[in-house]
Structure 1
Amino acid sequence: MSDPAKHLEGFQTEFRRYRGLAEKTIQTMGHDQVQACAGGGNNSVEVLMQHLGGNLRSRFTDFLTSDGEKDCRHRDREFEDQGLGEAELHALWNSGWDALEATLGALHAEDLALLVTIRGVEFTVAEALTRALAHVAYHVGQIVLLARLQQGEDWQSLSIPRGGSEAYRQNPDAERGRA
């Protein structure tokens, strides 16, 4: 993308879109469903929320000035059932997203070329944001799939439903909230 300001705006839009998709999905679930695990070694939605919250908080706290893998982060614990209540889980989730949104709101287009460090490896800000967006998309997809599997025939599509492609083609801006 040749316009850095549009590139940065694109990151902001896509992160908001994935957060919205995850949160709409989570709202369709009871806390027992959020905690349910699909078998040994698989993650529950709760674990994915813990992990994304921890990852985003670590990566985007002091984003431009410190390594994105903070010493205070305990990544392995993010994948354990911590027995969090619903409010505590959502606070953890929101803390990561809040750190990301604060960082994105403070960045300027020219910052995309700056270097940041993650686990001792340098990346441009644009590369780090691309990596983070891919990571978020991966886990949000898992959250949606877990909810869909649990809800079966009761699942309500959060995007273009089967048989809805023609209606979407008539109003493609609806996906971006510009309908």
Structure 2
Amino acid sequence: MNPSDRTASEVLGPLYLADVRERMCGLKSLGEGALTQLRDDDWHTVLSDDGNSAAVLIQHLHGNMHARWGALRSGYRPGTEGEPETRDRDAEFTDTQHTPAELWRRWHDGWAVYLGALDALTPEDLAAPLTIRGETHTVLQAAQRQVMHYSGHVYQLVLLVKTLRGGQWQTLSIARGGSAGFNAAMQARRG
């Protein structure tokens, strides 16, 4: 088949899945860059009375990733539910005082479920129905919903850790005043 004979959906589906996976792997790395800067006694610290600690955010991400994507790890099946009855979402927001090692395990386990499900999806699956809390979405809509959701929580982690570390924070992006140098280095790499 000539590539120009392919339909937009045949082209866009694989591109979308590859792009979402790449961006979410980058988001995972961003979160890990923040989490590695936590001291052992920081994992359960909140910034306000109703705030979430890093531990709680990880518990919630872990629970959400399993609930939304656990059934899709071996590919899409009709009737898939993205909110199993066994999930206790409210419990995810109670700090259970897990150790940093256990929190890291949950972090990696949740992301493995989510990224594994993305890997199992096919472009044809993107238009298929997926139910979350009784509301029907396409798999594409559910994926976009999670991109927003997970990004929000990872950026909460970054802000939390940056605030806790103060002047000892090591930036995860271009340092202040470093844009010109960064741009010059990028230009030099492109040759």
Same fold (TM over 0.5): yes
Compare CA radii of gyration and give the structure with the larger one: 2
Q: Alpha carbon RMSD of aligned pairs, Å? A: 1.9
Give identity over the alignment, percent. 35
**Where does 1:146-161 land on structure 2 (aligned, <5 Å)?**
146-161=160-175
Q: CA deviation at 1:168?
A: 2.9
Determine the structure 2 residue equivalent to 1:11. 20
Q: CA deviation at 1:110?
A: 2.0
Preserved CA contact (<8 Å) 1:54 1:92: no
Determine the structure 2 residue equivalent to 1:117. 131
How far apart, in 2, do the equivalents of 1:123 and 1:168 lie? 41
Preserved CA contact (<8 Å) 2:65 2:111: yes
TM-score of the superposed pair, with normalisation by structure 2: 0.85
Determine the structure 2 residue equivalent to 1:170. 184
Q: CA deviation at 1:171?
A: 4.8
Q: CA deviation at 1:172?
A: 5.0
- The change in CA–CA distance for 1:122 and 1:172 in structure 2 (over 3 A counts) is farther
Of the candidates 143, 148, 153, which is equivalent to residue 157 of structure 2? 143
Determine the structure 2 residue equivalent to 1:93. 107
How far apart, in 2, do the equivalents of 1:86 and 1:116 lie? 34
Determine the structure 1 residue equivalent to 2:122. 108
TM-score of the superposed pair, with normalisation by structure 1: 0.90
How far apart, in 1, do the equivalents of 2:32 and 2:186 lie? 22
Q: CA deviation at 1:22?
A: 0.4
Gaps of 5+ in 2: 1-7
Q: CA deviation at 1:29?
A: 0.8
Q: Tell me how many residue pairs correspond in the alignment.
A: 174
Gaps of 5+ in 1: none
